[in-house]
Structure formats: C-alpha cells, structure tokens
A and B are shown apart, each in its own frame.
Chain A
Amino acid sequence: MLGLALLVLPLLGLLVRSPWADLPHVLGEAEVLDALRLSLVSASSATAIALVLGVPLAWVLARSEARAISLLRSVVTLPLVLPPVVGGVALLFAFGRTGIVGRWLDQWLGLTIPFTTAAVVLAETFVAMPFLVITVEGALRAADKGYDEAAATLGASRLTVFRRVTLPLVRPSLAAGAVLCWARALGEFGATITFAGNLQGVTRTMPLAVYLAMQTNPRAATALSLLLLLVSVLVLVGLRDRWLADGRRR
C-alpha cells in the first residue's frame, strides 16, 4: 500500500494544485504550443529513426550466436541506465562542433548539430531507442525460429522471411516497443538541455518548458505538467490491450 501511495500521491498533488480555470489560457500561449508541437514532432521522429535502426539491431541481438553479442547487448542497454545528462555530455563530445564526428561535419559540410531540432531528435533517439530494441529483441527471442526456418527451406530469401514471417510474429511487441520509445523520447530532459540547448520553437521541448516555467511561473508549470500527464495516460490507454491484458493472460 505504501508503494502505491508513493506512486499515486505526487500525481494527486499535481491534480489538486492544477489551476484548472487558467488551463485553457495557459495552454493557448504561443510558447506552450511551440513546445508541444516540438515535443510531438521530435518524439515521433526519434521513434521513426529508432524503428529503422533499432529493429535490425534487435534482430542481430536475438539471432546471432557470436560470443561478442553479450558485449554488444550491454552497449545497447547502456543508455537505459546512464544518467541522461551524461548522455548529453557524451553526445556533445561526439557530435558537437569540436566533437570527434562533429568536427568533420562542421569542416566538410558546414553542418553543426547542437542547438538544432536535429540535436533534440538525436538526443531523444539515443536515450529512447534501447527501450524499443530490448522489447523487440525479447519478442524475437521468444518467437519460434521454426517458422523462419520453414520459410527459408521453402525458398524465401532472408529479407522476405524477415518481412513476411518474423516481423508479423513480433508485431505486438514492435508496437509496444515503439510506444515505450516514444513516451521516453517525449519525456527526455537531461540529454536534450545539455546537447541541444534551450530555445523556444527550436529546442525547447515540453519537459524543458515545464522546468523553466517552474522557476518563474509555477502555475504554468503545473498546467504543462498536466498536459504531459494526459499524454502519458493516453499512451497507457493505447497500450492497454497489448500490454496490461497480456500480463493477465500469462
């Protein structure tokens, strides 16, 4: 019961302190709309990139029998346990203007990543992709390899097997992983403020806006938090069938 109280009380506090009357006013402000739009766009982009890059990675982790694979898995899960701020510092020293990769991007292509929306997406992908990879890897591992092998003996190419057999088998986990990844990306704060900075409409996402508003206008911060809470609840509702029901069936 104490555990439940610990989880529920803060949310209750947020609901009680919410300036319900001001809500429409606060949420209609240009700064808030900018932050919301930026958050939705960047979290969705990060999820799309995580799908494209993360699913093949999950497949390799699940199917490869090489010994080095456990090392690879540790590297992939590292961002999960790494404090996001540290991730931001690491990103800065890799893709920053003086970073090991960023230096060349800047010199050869005139591209600088920090302080752009691309930096926000990159930071979010870095932090959130492991959620997708781990979820999909677990499903791939649990899925019966026999189907893949049967399809292969029937003459399907590896790509066809992956596309027509493997992927449909893990589709529920793929969706759950994508939603988890999206939610984590939406809440990203530490890596974003460190690597991407903080500027309205460009890099100031919802969590940054909440943090800044808390310093000067707590009422606005509460309203913004409420909005994020609402989005989180919607995510859970969307996941309900795939996830919570699954747990009951087991």
Chain B
Amino acid sequence: MTRLLRLPWLLIVLLLVAGCGQAPPPGGAASGVGGTIRVFAAASLTRSFTTLAHDFERQHPGSTVELSFGGSSDLAEQIDNGAPADVFASASPVNMRQVVRAGNARRPRPFARNTMEIAVPPDNPGHVHGLDDLARDGVKVALCQPQVPCGSVAREVFARAGISVHPVTEEVDVTSVLTKVAIGEVDAGLVYVTDVRSAGGQVHGIPVPAAVNASTTYPIAATSGSGNPATARAFVALVLSGRGQRVLARDGFGSA
C-alpha cells in the first residue's frame, strides 16, 4: 500500500517540474505579436480553429496558440471566473453577452454561422430518416443540454417542427453528443452541420429541412484581461480575414 501511495506523489512532482519548464518565450516580433495566447473556443470550432492556429503560428514565428475547446457556457463561466483566456469564440451571442456584461470582453464580432443536422451511426440502428423519427418511442437521442448553444438551437428546431423529443442524455457540449453517436451508444443526435462534416465517415448526416432549421451566430472577441492583447487581436483578425473565412467555409460554416 505504501508503494502505491508514493506513486501519485512522484507524478505530482514530475508534473510541477514539467510545468515550471515552460517559461514564456521572450519578446516577440516587431509588431508586438508573439508569445503565447490562449484561445477559448466553442467545441464545434475544434477543426477550423486547429487549422487556423497552425496558420497563425506559421505567419507569426515565435508565437504559440493554445486552444481550449468546450461548451460555450462552460467557457464563458471559466472566463468570468478568471481563467487566463486571451480570445473567446462562442457558438452563440448569449454566452458572449455574459462575458461582455461581466466586463471581460469588448466589441465582439460575428464571424460564422451554423445550422443543425441529424447525425446517426453509419449502420443507422434506429432507422432514423428524418426529424420526426427523433420523437419516435424507443429511438435513443442525445442532445446538448439547453444551456449550451447547440442545445438551445436544437430545441428551437423541434419547436418549429412541432415535435417533442425526449433525449436519453443531455451532453455538456456538441462534441460529446457526436461521440455518443459515433460509438453507436445512441441512435441519433442533433448536432451542427459542421460536426457531421468533421466527423468524416464516423457518423452519417441526415439534413434538417430548411423550413424548420435554426441557426446560431458565432461571435469572437479578445478578452479585456489578456496579457498579450496585440497577439490576441491579430488572431481575431485572422479569423475574420479572407483566409479565416475560407477555412471556416471549407468546414461547413456559413458566413455571419
């Protein structure tokens, strides 16, 4: 037992030592752009922002972009509690508003739009072919919880279609819903169009009719507490630029 107890301590010490080693790189480019920034972004932006972060690091040698993806409401709460974010990209104006109102970000800019699509496992065990099937008894549906944008937009779609869907689980962000679908634990999930595309062959997408589909607008802003505002602003500019918009469009986002 004593041997067992000593192991975690060793790990903790190692982690602390490893943490100490990562001193921020000195200085930056002449423009003031350089060093490390932390970008907090909605889970649905995982693919696009990973690409853009690499682009950014190539364009600005000496800079590092650390990405943190999660449910927009969770990220907003973390920022309001002092999490060291330099940029916040939310999947809905609601969560951005919360951060702005708390004085932690200013002048958010819309940069993308997203709509919903049904995701089913490739073998479609629940024989889901349309929105109505999600309301059928015995069909296991995963949704985002209503607090996160993908959850509120999904409920908007159901309201427009006039159906009531009883999910078996309400996940904390959209990637968790997608995972539950991809591993076949649920018959269907309502996720963003972009998620189906980024999942490749792991899930099969079934379009939601445009007449009942709902959309959400993504705002982005540098945070007021950023210790590296020039670099944070440069990253926001990249997202809003032609190059940024092309990456987002390639992943299925609409322009804001």
Contacts and interface: CB of A to CB of B under 8 A. Distances in A.
Interface of A: 77, 81, 92, 96-98, 112, 114-115, 134, 193, 197-199, 203, 211-212, 214-216, 218
Contacts of B147: 212, 215-216
Interface string B116-144: 00000000000000000000000010100
B156 interface: no
Interface in B178-212: 180, 183-186
B74 A92 contact: no
Interface in B128-179: 140, 142, 145, 147-148, 167-172
Contacts of B148: 215
Contacts of A211: 172
B34 interface: no
Nearest to A216: B147
B170 A114 contact: no
Contacts of A218: 77
Interface residues on B, range: 20 to 34
Contact of B71 (A77, A96, A112, A215): A215
B25 to A, nearest CB: 31
A134 B172 CA distance: 34
Contact of A198 (B8, B74, B170): B170
30 contacts: A77-B4, A81-B8, A96-B184, A97-B185, A98-B185, A115-B140, A115-B168, A115-B169, A115-B185, A193-B172, A197-B169, A197-B170, A197-B171, A197-B180, A198-B169, A198-B170, A198-B171, A199-B167, A199-B168, A203-B169, A211-B172, A212-B147, A214-B77, A215-B74, A215-B76, A215-B77, A215-B148, A216-B73, A216-B77, A216-B147
Q: Which 3 A-B pairs have the closest CB atoms?
A: A197-B169, A115-B168, A215-B73
B7 interface: yes
A96 B172 contact: no
Contacts of A98: 183-185
A197 B73 contact: no
Contacts of B4: 77, 81
Given A96-B185, A199-B167, A216-B77, 10 more contacts: A96-B183, A97-B184, A198-B145, A198-B170, A211-B172, A212-B145, A212-B147, A215-B73, A216-B73, A216-B147
Considering residues A81, A92, A199, which has the most beta carbons from chain B within 10 angstroms of its beta carbon? Answer: A199
Contact of A197 (B8, B74, B142): B142
Nearest to A137: B1
B143 to A, nearest CB: 10
B168 A81 contact: no
Nearest to A218: B77
B180 to A, nearest CB: 8
A216 B140 CA distance: 26
B147 to A, nearest CB: 5
Considering residues B1, B148, B185, which has the most beta carbons from chain A within 10 angstroms of its beta carbon? Answer: B185
